[in-house]
Structure 1
Amino acid sequence: MKKLEHIFVALNGWALILMLTAMTVIVGANISLRYLTGHSLPWADEAARYLMIWMTFSGAGLVLRTGGHVAITNLQDALPQMGQKILRGLLVLGLLIFFGFMVWVGMQYAQRMQYQVTPALRLPFLYIYAAMPVGFGLMILHLLLIAHPFITAGAYKHLEDEEAGEASLPGGANG
């Protein structure tokens, strides 16, 4: 199970790296063309915007698993140990319900937009708005993977833990 989790996290991370790389290349090429030739790519800004949307929704789950989202812990810190566990369990349950609702809303919205196309790329908006249900679906998976340690100990997966897990796999990251 840990190996599947590691593969899932690595694939999520690589998808973000590829989207960021594509966005950087597109924007860089557009700037270079604008200054060298006086002409720019008419679709570059739109492509960069849509890649940014996909990166935001796709990366939110990775941030969630390391505790990178904003949190106010005053109430949790004021409670006894058992109260903290109950509160964290309720938080996880509430987040799962909210994320599931957002997947449903995102799917409905994406389906409604499937016949409209983007101005420059002429892509159906379905592909752009699909970032919402996909991103919240990824957040559900990430939350389920960290729920037990978060509820019981209030601990998140830290990047050092991920790297230590990678080093302990047979053959390193490729194993």
Structure 2
Amino acid sequence: MNSLERLSRWVGLFSLWFGGLLLMINIGDIVMGVVLRYLCHAAPIWTEELARFSLVWMVLIGAAAAFLNGDQMSIDFVVNVLPPRGKAFCRFLSAAVQVAVLGVMVWFGAQNVMGGWKMKTMALGVPKAVPLTAVPVGMAMLMAVVVGKYLHDSGSGREKR
């Protein structure tokens, strides 16, 4: 296993644990908001914003772990009937398109983050760049996992499921 594959595995594991932590924060925040609304007839406005931001971060960070575990949707009925060289080409083409799209998302996401440092969120008062950073970070993590998985699968000669 080369260093890029190891990095991919580490990113996937980090994605899994950090996504789980964000899920616990999200659930705790929502439960607290519901309980406070029930008991006090009002909840702090920041609970809704924190729930939204933690959900966005959880989905974008968790995408790397989902990809690494094979939990993404794929339509491969055409690829399955191809000869081995055709399958290898389709795997390469798929990985190349994914990396290109993710690269564009990282680039434009980073540009969006740069413009968000001066604006503050309504309830929490944090810079808008904090929730916006989920896009370039999550997509960069997903890109690392895509490249690592492709290298691992093509290096070991395994067929993609």
Give me the TM-score of the superposition, normalised by structure 1.
Answer: 0.81
Q: Are 1:154 and 2:159 counterparts?
A: yes
Structure 1 counterpart of 2:159, one-letter code = G
State the Cα RMSD in Å: 1.9
Q: Are 1:145 and 2:151 counterparts?
A: no
Q: Are 1:117 and 2:120 counterparts?
A: yes
Q: Secondary structure at the match of 1:74?
A: coil
Q: Which residue of 2 aligns with 1:32?
A: 35
C-alpha separation in 2, matches of 1:78 and 1:38: 60
The 5 A counterparts of 1:22-61 are 22-61=25-64
C-alpha separation in 1, matches of 2:90 and 2:159: 10
Structure 2 counterpart of 1:131, one-letter code = A
Q: Are 1:83 and 2:86 counterparts?
A: yes
- From 102, 107, 116, the counterpart of 1:104: 107
C-alpha separation in 1, matches of 2:28 and 2:116: 28
C-alpha separation in 1, matches of 2:158 and 2:138: 26
Q: Secondary structure at the match of 2:118?
A: coil
User: 1:27: how far off?
Assistant: 1.0
C-alpha separation in 2, matches of 1:5 and 1:84: 22
C-alpha separation in 2, matches of 1:62 and 1:136: 12
Across the two proteins, how many residue pairs are aligned to each other?
156
Structure number with the bigger relative contact order (C-alpha 8 A, sep ≥ 6) is 2
User: 1:114: how far off?
Assistant: 2.0
Of stretches 2-11 and 132-141 in structure 1, the one that deviates more from structure 2 is 2-11
Of stretches 3-12 and 104-113 in structure 1, the one that deviates more from structure 2 is 3-12
Give me the TM-score of the superposition, normalised by structure 2.
Answer: 0.87
User: 1:61: how far off?
Assistant: 0.9
Q: Structure 1's 155 and 79: CA in aligned 2 closer, same or farther, altered over 3 A? A: closer
Q: Which residue of 2 aligns with 1:128?
A: 131
Runs of at least 4 residues of structure 1 off by over 6 A? none
Q: Deviations over 1:73-104 (max 9, x none)?
A: 12212311111111111111111111111100
